[in-house]
Amino acid sequence: MTNYTNIKETERPGLLGPRSTGIVAVIPAFNEERFIASVVFTTLQFADKVIVVDDGSSDRTASLAEKAGAMVVRQPLNMGKAQALNAGFKAARRLENVAVVVCLDGDAQHDARDIPAVVAPVLAEEADVVIGSRFLDIKSDIPAWRQVGQHTLTTVTNIASGVHTTDSQSGFRAFSPAAVEALHFTSTDLSVESEMQFLFRPAGLRVVEAPVNVQYLDGNKRNPMIHGLQVLDALLSLVARRRPLMFFSLPGLVSTLIGLLLSVYLVHTMMVSGNLPVGLAVLVAFLVSGGITVGVTGIVLHSMHKFAERVDQDVRQSLSIYLERVTN
């Protein structure tokens, strides 16, 4: 994966002028009245349009975002970041002449001055997705416990998705129009960034990273340990859905092989001593039967997942053809 580390902050490849929508920023936000106005204001210095998706906030997030100059998309309920991004992408698709869509969080942790560096590879047509990595060139004061947790989640995501990044959980990302069209998120939990990584390769999207700074102004909204475990749980559930062969069949195969090897030792022991080691026999039966069951489960889930992907692709293709006919 290419890493973009030599782009100066003063370079501004965006702001393509009044004739083009150019750079569109999508900011999902839930109860971010403390920061959202300043986030929108600073983002507008580096983007031609800002879309704030108010994810069912109970505070003044939406009104403050509008006053700061953003286009606001309102979700009736708190539906989660994945659905907020879907809504933001949908709004971006309706705009004309969009060159790149860049996503930031609404809590001011991302520095809008990094937008030019993040969108540059997309504008240069060298990438479809750019991930703003906090760990390519660490200049920010990131707590050690956060680094350990993020690296753990990134390692699991990299292994499971087959796509290598240094920061799988970064919400600071840029997308080409092709990527915006191709990506649709189904997560209902905290794993949307990891879900993206599973979608990049099947969609044929080129992915690079660019270094970004980060600041944590709002402290910890949640207990960091509990939040980390929740994200890990969501990630493992995602792996089970997206990679059932890896999550089920591979461990099942290992379990079966260990059981078969132990069965050889079991038979040898019986022949030598004339007695049946009951404990070992139970363990062998458990490993072999359990391994076969889990392995077959993975194969069945894999087949179901592939079938669902084909159905989804056919439905999207049919819908696209229908909409094209209607508009023409």
- Determine the pLDDT at residue 21: 59
* Structural domain ending residue among the three candidates 200, 219, 242: 242
Same-domain check for residues 35 and 158: yes
Write down which residue in 242, 264, 288 finishes a domain: 242
Same domain, 175 and 259: no
Same domain, residue pair 321 and 198: no
Q: What angle do CA 6, 127, 71 make, to 5 degrees?
A: 95
Q: Tell me, yes or no, whether 83 and 195 share the same domain.
A: yes
Q: What pLDDT does residue 140 have? A: 63
286 domain-assigned: yes
End residue of a domain, out of 182, 217, 242: 242
| Residues 91, 220 within the same domain | yes
CATH number at residue 131: 3.90.550.10
Residue 264 and residue 165 share a domain: no
Residue 288 structural domain: 244-327
Identify whether the C-beta of residue 211 lies closer than 8 Å to the C-beta of residue 133: yes
In this structure, are 146 and 107 located in the same domain?
A: yes
* Domain match, 70 and 85 both: yes
Residue 83 CA neighbour count, 13 Å, CB half = 13
User: Is the same domain home to 107 and 119?
Assistant: yes
Please give the chain's pLDDT, 328 residues, in tens: 655 544 433 344 445 444 345 999 999 999 999 999 999 999 999 999 999 999 999 999 999 999 999 999 999 999 999 999 999 999 999 999 999 999 999 999 999 999 999 999 999 999 999 999 999 876 666 777 778 888 888 988 898 888 999 999 999 999 999 999 999 998 876 679 989 998 999 899 999 999 999 987 765 555 566 766 666 666 667 677 777 777 778 888 999 999 999 999 899 888 888 888 889 899 999 999 988 988 888 788 767 766 776 776 666 667 667 656 766 5
Q: Does the reported pTM lie above 0.85?
A: no
